[in-house]
Structure 1
Amino acid sequence: MWAPTVDDEVDRQPDAGDCSFTVGGVAITAFGGGGVGIGEAGPAVAADEAGVAIRLTRARLALAPSSALARAILRGGLTLEADLGLRLTTHRGLVLEGSGGLDLYLAIERAIGNRWLGASISYLRLRLIVDSGPAGAGVTVEATAGVAISIFRVTLTLEGLGARLAVRTRTPRGNLLGIADVAGEVITPPTFGLAIDWGPIRGGGVFAYEADQDRYWGALELAWGKRWALRGVGFCEGRTTGDGATARTQHSLVALVTWERTSVSPGFDLTGVGVFVGTHRRADGDALREGVVSGALDALLFPPDPVGQARSLVAALERFFPAAEPDADTHVVGVLLKLSFAGGLASARLGFLVQFGAGTVNRTKLFVAFAAKLALRGALARVVKLEMAGVGEYEAATGDLEVRARLRNSRLCGANLDGELLVFRGDPLGGAAAPAARTDLEALARPGTGWFFSLGGYHPRWFDGKGPGRARVDQRIAVTVHKGDALTMEWSGYLALTPSAIHLGARARVALSAGGFGIEGLCGFDGMVTYDWDFVLDVFGQVRLILFSRTLCDLGLEGTLRGTSPWSIAGRVKYKILWWSGSKCFSQQLTDDTEPAPPPPSLATQVRTALAEPAAYADAAPGAIASTKRERTGLWGAPERGLRATQTIAPLGVAVTRLGAVRLPRPTAAAVTSVELGGAPWPHRAVTAAFAPGTFFDLTTAQALTAPAAETLDAGFEVAHDAIAVGGEQEAIARYDAITIDRGQTAAAPRPREVVGLPPEVHLAELARRAPPPPPPRQVRVAPAEYARPGVPARGRFATLAATGAPLRRARAGVA
């Protein structure tokens, strides 16, 4: 078989008044076969069908009208397409097979009615498709048109509305006399447009249906004069889950509707609000962050032209919010805000999204998408123009937080400004084991779980300057100035705080060229300091002289300073002059780590000394009873409280590795094993206190950041009060405030003044007769331990009530 090669991509169109004929390919095939057999009748020769076939593929005949009238009617010309074949065989003879087609595009431009009630047809397209083969022949006729229908100044445009009729021969039990099958269908346009013209309210929209994905999508925009604009974009699609009887169709919806005010005030102003709804969808944080880099995040934050960009907006929203798992029952809702300041000098667009659901994979998450812009007007626009976009993600179940922002289309004093910002909390490796250290800095500062802050990246020798896993930062903070090929100035830098170290670095490059001669200079530094004050500082510089892209002279310096255990310096100087080059290296250790260290403190001695101090014993009794402040020998405590001692030198019962800044030679634990009172051991129990873990344990930076500020650990012991020998009784007079409880013991009433003209006896008798009877004594319940009888010495722990009816008064002060 032989077939020529034809370029399928070339579309040959005839000029006006001409015609063109193209062939996609030509195939010539010869075939045949047979066999020889021996049977009872002797040898026999059998021959199969043999012949030759010629076939033309994608043959196309295009006619272009020459007159203006013909071109107006046949706007797309006349096109004939066909696949033709001729087969000559020994059994069937000459057979013609293939397929062909006719495509005719006619401009109509006919309208009836008006914009309140009317219709119009813009074009008519006729297609005829003929194909034949061994299985039979078929003819398909299609007629489509561009139709616009107007009702009350709302115009609906349908592109490609029509019908299709297909006839297929050699079809068993066909519906046309049993020899052919005829089928017809209505062709519905996949996309239709909408236009609204209601005076001050103008707008339009586009709507479509994609049958292969069972998706409806569309966009709409309405404007009220030059003040308000209502915009929306969204899609709805169905997905079948399950098999057989359990099969069900789940429909998901994504809708974004915004309302904006085109005019702004000179102060702070809210110029737009929006609502986002995504049912049976989840938010993809990675896709949102990729949208920050590509600029696709604008599809979520108040897109300016949803009708013109409908297809791309729907594709972006589908990436940002993919379909959730069938049984996850996950949804996303959000609110959008658009802010303006100083008449549009500064603006911000914010989107607050919440993902919630019952699934285990799609846990509750909070997202914040934002874009901010600061742009001066007029000639100052070249001085400052800052534009930033970013995405924040917070996962409630794990507490992971990731905020990523990036500069774009920004300028500062005529220079381009780029950079990336990251704030991350969590495990950047997602629970995976940390990779093996490839450089000395990766071994010095391992990535851990905690807080990451990066403005422009990390040290170049720490994970290639990008960072580990989810804490990766690709873009340095950079300022670039280009003045053609004559001048180039670049500055870049970074600042990062990780759970293990602080990163800081910068570099600058200047290049001048004129007439083939150029000079280039480069300098900078990279530094990293761990939280144990171990650090690495790299400095470098280079100067080159260039003539017609060839280096004439090159001088460079690289150096590294390390500390603090030990302090060392190393570096290299390299030079090149024409063809002569060389380098010189140096290295020097500045301190000696073999110096004897001071003896470490004894943990047991310090704990024993702290427990012997009077301050270690609690002397406060229950209630308000307390010892008076006076000099005493020994330890004095309240009998009701028992013996209790605590210390804060170190937690007891656990191995500690350091006491503050002093590191112990090995992990050491201290504990109270026994307590003796009066020469006999007594049972005791442990008491606790708050200890800072970082003061007594060697923690990684990640552990130090996530550990609590204080942890409750054993700090001493306590013996019950029954085990304490209190000695002999001490007599004391209880001091108290007078609070009368028994109303029967009232104070004497003051003597009334004498009345002139009456004897005192008569006046007193009259007062006694008129006075009300005294109330009966009230029964009062008192606790024996809280009350004492006035004038009676208190013995033992507390004075008890006497059996007499003397008035009781509450003891408020301490016992002397």
Structure 2
Amino acid sequence: MAGTIEGLAAELALIFAPLAERAANGTPDLLLEWVGLRTFDAAAGSARLASALVSCTGSAADLTALAEDLVEAVTADDGGAVAATATALLTKFAVTVQAVRDAADELRTLSADPALSAAQRAEVSAVADEFVSRVLGRLLVEYLEVRFPPLVTALMATGVVEVVDQPPGPAGSLVAAHRQKTLHADRLVRLVSDPVGLVGEVFRWGQPDFDGLALFTSLKALLRERFDIPAEILQPPGSPAMLEAFGFSAEVDPTLSPPGLTVNLRMPAGIQRNETLALGDWEVILETDAAFQADLEGTLRPLLDVELTAAAGTVDVTVQVSFARSPTAEPFLLLGSPGGSRLEARSLTAGVALAIHLDTAQGRVSLDPELKLALRGGKLVISSAGGDGFLITLLSGIHLESVVNTDLTWSPALGARFTGSGTLQVAIPVHVELGPLNVQTLYLVAGLAGSGVPVELSAGMSAQLGPLSAAVDRLGLAVSFSLPTGGGNLGPLDVGLAFKPPTGVGLAVNAGVVTGGGFLKLDPAAGEYAGALELEFAEFLALKAIGLITTRMPDGSAGFSLLLVITAEFPGGLQLGYGFKLIGVGGVLGLHRGMRLDAIMEGVRTGAIESVMFPHDVVANAPRILSDLKAFFPPEDGVFVIGPMAKLGWGTPTIVTVSLGIIIEIPGNIALVGVLKVALPTEDEAILLLQVNFAGAIEFDKKRIYFFASLFHSRILTISIEGELGLLVAYGDQPDFVLSVGGFHPAFKAPPLPFPVPKRISINLLNSDVGRLGVDGYFAVTSNTAQFGAHAELYLGLGAFSVEGHLGFDALFQFSPFTFVIEISAGVSVKVFGVGLFSVSLEFTLSGPTPWQATGSASISLLFFSIGVDFDITWGEPRDTALPPINVVPLVKGELDKPESWRVNNPAGGAPLVTLRPLAAGEADIVLHPLGTVVVQQRAVPLDIRVDKVGAEAAADVSSVRVVVDGGGLVKLSDAADMFAVAQFQNLSDAEKLSLPSFEREHAGVELAADGTAMTSARAVRRSARYEQVIIDDLGSTASSFVPYNAALFQHLLAGASVARSPLAQTERVLRQPFADGIVVTGDTYVVAATRDNTARTGVFSSQAQARAHLDALVAADPNLIDAVHVIPAMEAAP
């Protein structure tokens, strides 16, 4: 009975939890949004309505608190408290329901307020009449969604629960857009007594006037709410209604009598759906797995007459219903008593499955039922605990455990199948001293493995040898018993003996001068061995080491990898001069270990990088340190890691310390990692403590350099300081430049970064229960933008009163002409019981400085009255702040005059026909091969696109630059390209600067060739092949010379011989495999497409700027296209 009362109280609290949350958040007025009513101000009665809403949420909060008190009273088995709390809970339930009714009455009173229009009074009156049912109905529906999701699915499918998105009212209306959730209790009764009649009444299914709209509306909400599948209802004029969803459609078929549905599956589909119904510590699980071929059509007639038409293919459906123990539940007893001898299990699952296979080509259906029973975490424990004195003395503290995992399945085709694993483990405490050796525990472990029975006889022991202490666990003998076919070494039985290595070894030393210890962890099953050591010598030298050996690669194959971190620290430091001292040295060594730079960058943020940089207390923190090292340096065959480290300090006592390491991956990349710490006056009694974790990397394969730093556990007195910095310089095919201190502008779309997006630089000046005051900011520079901003927040709460305020800005800058745009927002509000009493807000955009312009809005609110004003103010004199314009053509000509802008490409293959002599050292002329090409390329400005400026200076002479070939016997073969920051050459809007790529590949020059070289033809060659025949009749002596070498070595030497590497042999190899293996990744391309359906209107452009230039030309020729076309990536264009 106690469990029933406790459960009912918890469920009642869960029903009213949404109202209680609004009381805790101070937002009781959101109840009006639930019922689709905007917050409004009336001349009278508004205060009473606000009070009624506060009473609703406050009473619900009291109700949930009483439910928690009742649970505690039941748990404490306090009968008097249970009766009193249960009575108070029922009373509070009635008070809560009455509070909802009172709020409805206040709404009904406000519906007669003359301050409202006639239409508004009618809307408020309609909501007041349904206020109670809407609020209580929504509470019940949301409760069912949380507790019984599969039940809500069934109720939505039958119309008992309705979820409808209601649109807003017209201008001036008080009706707001809202989601209405309704539970029809009368339909719930009909669902049990007359389900056919209910479906016919709600959806008109099976009736002559069935139009599908009600059914499709319910299905649309069901697909969206329960399966996250988008759907739309279509009803073209003169056509039946249709439901279009992702991958399938349903349409009303009026040719049937009564009307039915036609369903079409347009694409191959797979459905995997798991639904769980929680029942306390147990749960019911429904699993569905279905696979359908494309073009499956079906006709559905009332009531459930289904006719399928499909192309040749199959339909596979598997449905399984299971009753299982919840994963979060505690192990439960099957037999015995807690703490004593018992049979328990952590998980027990029983289920039935049905697999259906439909072959549409043969018209054959096969069914395969299956029963399943699974026991997980089963444990048989035999213990002397709880026994009488005789048993305790007899068993001497013996403890026996057997772990069992079992699966039992049955099907008509295969019958019963039993699989499982079991291990019997007996631990006998003995505490026997054999001289310096102390044997604490004996282990007897037996189990099943394949066709044998492995048995372990081992012991856990320790020894004290003067200042040295040692301990080992489970060291002993491994015995295997099997019954092989043909007998074994003991008649029919085969017995194998092997040494059982310990699973762990620990050492400790305390010899005065030398103190410390270490351990070894052995896990042969996982192929992993780890250890840690920490020794201190006379307070002069602290030696630390941690190592990890793995004999299994990540793919499960056999292999070997080693990771070792060794540090030597000098507590007093070795003086270097000028106040600097060497505190420690160390290094990282990895054999067959790679380096994960993304994990290292994340470790900078989390502080895990300290596991590499002179870690503290390595023995106690070994599990965490080993986990971090595995993440930073995972096993990778053929890769090696080496990294020297040093720790320096400055000041006496040490004020500044820096730990620095350079980690080199061979072959691979280079990383710089470190920790910088500043502590004043000392680290133990620091008033100022700044710790900066940082890491940088050079990635040669990706051609980029980057750096990331993070403030970690930093403070001034008790004021915490946080923030991060990131720098990226990419110099390859995708060049980029990003510098961020504290993040980016909120509207900026950051490019893919090799480190986490930096967090704001923030200072929490006050952080307590009654008040909070924090300031944060950022500064960022990219190839397109300069941006910075700051934000401050204030909160003070004293009982029912609270004050909240904020002030912030986000700025973008342009340097020529010098302009800026700053978005500023500020506000302060005073609340009582979560309801706004007074507030002031200001939001505007400030631009300038010649002239200054401020555009925005401001508002003041007092209780239920508010006054708002929009403003647009301009002041100051317009002045030209632009730099003097620049002539672009001389820049381009100057670049083209440079010798390095010209280069020749000799013919790549074929017969060159002509051989060029090497040029003398003094000759600077460029010699073009008759079949070669010459590339003329400059980097001053991009070609063939609009050029508005060069950097911060406007273009004075041209609006675009193009290179043409005029005579000289040369023709243009192609355009030479290079990467340009387009924002440095075109006037872009702030939105474009924030969204466009930092660099794009644009035309930078041309590739030229002699006229006619592109037209070549094969040539026929007639040649007589003559050869000389030589007979060697002494095969024995020739073959005997290779006898000392095995065949594999001979083949290896043969592959590297001169004959194998000759041009003739290479030509034959190329003919057999003409294409080199590899994947070439090209850059993004763009097209000008129609905005209506994204169909391409032009060819493909190599850069977005070129596509925009073509778009501008199209719009200039036909202004009607201004909203009809846009630039999109080529991969997004419709086929």
C-alpha distance in structure 1 between counterparts of 2:892 and 2:453, whole Å = 103
* C-alpha distance 304-13 of structure 1, shift in aligned 2 (>3 A): farther
Q: What is the CA distance between 1:502 and its match in structure 2?
A: 1.5
Q: How does 1:29-48 map to 2 (within 5 A)?
A: none
1:257 paired to 2:561: no
Q: What is the CA distance between 1:567 and its match in structure 2?
A: 7.5
Q: What is the CA distance between 1:378 and its match in structure 2?
A: 7.7
Q: What is the CA distance between 1:257 and its match in structure 2?
A: 0.8
Q: How does 1:203-602 map to 2 (within 5 A)?
A: 203-238=516-551, 251-264=560-573, 267-326=579-638, 329-357=639-667, 362=668, 365-377=669-681, 381=685, 383-396=687-700, 400-426=704-730, 449-463=735-749, 469-470=753-754, 473-482=757-766, 484-532=768-816, 533-562=818-847, 569-581=854-866, 583-587=868-872
Instruction: Give the residue type in structure 2 aligned to 1:271.
Output: I
* C-alpha distance 62-490 of structure 1, shift in aligned 2 (>3 A): same
TM-score by length of 2: 0.43
C-alpha distance in structure 2 between counterparts of 1:290 and 1:165, whole Å = 46
* C-alpha distance 663-487 of structure 1, shift in aligned 2 (>3 A): same
* C-alpha distance 520-379 of structure 1, shift in aligned 2 (>3 A): farther
Residue in 2 that maps onto 1:145: 459
Q: Which moved more, 1:397-406 or 1:501-510?
A: 397-406
1:107 paired to 2:430: yes
Q: Kindly provide the CA deviation profile for residues 581-622 of structure 1, in whole angstroms up to 9, marking residues without a partner as x.
A: 5644445788999x9x9x9999999999xxxxxxxxxxxxxx
Q: Is the 8 A contact 2:381 2:402 kept in 1?
A: yes
Residue in 1 that maps onto 2:440: 122
C-alpha distance in structure 1 between counterparts of 2:479 and 2:435, whole Å = 28
* C-alpha distance 67-222 of structure 1, shift in aligned 2 (>3 A): farther
Q: What is the CA distance between 1:16 and its match in structure 2?
A: 12
Instruction: Give the residue type in structure 1 aligned to 2:857.
Output: R
Q: Is the 8 A contact 2:332 2:345 kept in 1?
A: no
Instruction: Point out where structure 2 has 5 or more consecutive residues left out of the alignment.
Output: 1-320, 351-372, 409-419, 894-938, 968-979, 1007-1135
Q: Any idea what SS the aligned residue of 2:615 has?
A: coil
Alignment match of 1:698 (pick from 971, 985, 993): 985
Structure with greater proportional helix content: 2
Q: Is the 8 A contact 2:454 2:478 kept in 1?
A: yes
Q: Is the 8 A contact 2:332 2:344 kept in 1?
A: no
C-alpha distance in structure 1 between counterparts of 2:443 and 2:827, whole Å = 70
C-alpha distance in structure 2 between counterparts of 1:174 and 1:580, whole Å = 98
Q: Is the 8 A contact 1:283 1:332 kept in 2?
A: no
More relative contact order in 1 or in 2 (CA 8 Å, sep 6+)?
Answer: 1
Q: Any idea what SS the aligned residue of 2:744 has?
A: coil
Q: Any idea what SS the aligned residue of 1:107 has?
A: strand
Q: Any idea what SS the aligned residue of 2:604 has?
A: helix
Q: Kindly provide the CA deviation profile for residues 210-266 of structure 1, in whole angstroms up to 9, marking residues without a partner as x.
A: 3244333211111112221111112233457999xxx9x653322111101123589
Q: What is the CA distance between 1:554 and its match in structure 2?
A: 2.3
Residue in 2 that maps onto 1:797: none
* C-alpha distance 67-199 of structure 1, shift in aligned 2 (>3 A): farther
Q: What is the CA distance between 1:320 and its match in structure 2?
A: 0.9
Q: Is the 8 A contact 2:645 2:659 kept in 1?
A: no
1:157 paired to 2:441: no
Q: Any idea what SS the aligned residue of 2:956 has?
A: strand
C-alpha distance in structure 1 between counterparts of 2:590 and 2:747, whole Å = 43
Q: What is the CA distance between 1:69 and its match in structure 2?
A: 12
C-alpha distance in structure 2 between counterparts of 1:312 and 1:421, whole Å = 26
C-alpha distance in structure 2 between counterparts of 1:672 and 1:55, whole Å = 82
Q: Is the 8 A contact 2:516 2:535 kept in 1?
A: yes
Residue in 2 that maps onto 1:784: none
Q: What is the CA distance between 1:148 and its match in structure 2?
A: 3.3
* C-alpha distance 159-654 of structure 1, shift in aligned 2 (>3 A): closer
Instruction: Give the residue type in structure 2 aligned to 1:414.
Output: T
Q: Is the 8 A contact 1:653 1:669 kept in 2?
A: no
Q: Kindly provide the CA deviation profile for residues 559-580 of structure 1, in whole angstroms up to 9, marking residues without a partner as x.
A: 1134589975421224443334
* C-alpha distance 673-235 of structure 1, shift in aligned 2 (>3 A): closer
Q: What is the CA distance between 1:300 and its match in structure 2?
A: 0.3
Instruction: Give the residue type in structure 1 aligned to 2:646.
Output: L
Residue in 2 that maps onto 1:201: 514
Q: Is the 8 A contact 2:943 2:960 kept in 1?
A: no
Q: Any idea what SS the aligned residue of 2:624 has?
A: helix
Q: Kindly provide the CA deviation profile for residues 130-178 of structure 1, in whole angstroms up to 9, marking residues without a partner as x.
A: x89xx99x87654321133567855542201122445457x64342775
Backbone CA RMSD of aligned residues: 5.5
C-alpha distance in structure 2 between counterparts of 1:316 and 1:241, whole Å = 16
C-alpha distance in structure 2 between counterparts of 1:296 and 1:175, whole Å = 54
C-alpha distance in structure 2 between counterparts of 1:298 and 1:2, whole Å = 47
Residue in 2 that maps onto 1:800: none
Instruction: Give the residue type in structure 2 aligned to 1:559.
Output: F
Percent of aligned positions that are identical? 23
Q: Which moved more, 1:268-277 or 1:566-575?
A: 566-575
* C-alpha distance 74-255 of structure 1, shift in aligned 2 (>3 A): farther
C-alpha distance in structure 2 between counterparts of 1:161 and 1:278, whole Å = 30
C-alpha distance in structure 1 between counterparts of 2:819 and 2:491, whole Å = 93
Q: Any idea what SS the aligned residue of 2:593 has?
A: coil
Q: Kindly provide the CA deviation profile for residues 523-558 of structure 1, in whole angstroms up to 9, marking residues without a partner as x.
A: 121111134434321111001101123322222111
Instruction: Give the residue type in structure 2 aligned to 1:356.
Output: I
Residue in 2 that maps onto 1:9: 330
Q: Is the 8 A contact 2:397 2:429 kept in 1?
A: yes
Structure with greater proportional strand content: 1
Q: Kindly provide the CA deviation profile for residues 617-643 of structure 1, in whole angstroms up to 9, marking residues without a partner as x.
A: xxxxxxxxxxxxxxxxxxxxxxxxxxx
TM-score by length of 1: 0.58
C-alpha distance in structure 2 between counterparts of 1:375 and 1:653, whole Å = 51
C-alpha distance in structure 2 between counterparts of 1:126 and 1:653, whole Å = 79
Q: What is the CA distance between 1:356 and its match in structure 2?
A: 3.1
Q: Any idea what SS the aligned residue of 2:601 has?
A: helix
Q: Which moved more, 1:663-672 or 1:301-310?
A: 663-672
C-alpha distance in structure 2 between counterparts of 1:554 and 1:233, whole Å = 60
* C-alpha distance 394-341 of structure 1, shift in aligned 2 (>3 A): farther
C-alpha distance in structure 2 between counterparts of 1:183 and 1:606, whole Å = 86
C-alpha distance in structure 2 between counterparts of 1:185 and 1:317, whole Å = 33
* C-alpha distance 301-71 of structure 1, shift in aligned 2 (>3 A): farther
* C-alpha distance 215-395 of structure 1, shift in aligned 2 (>3 A): same
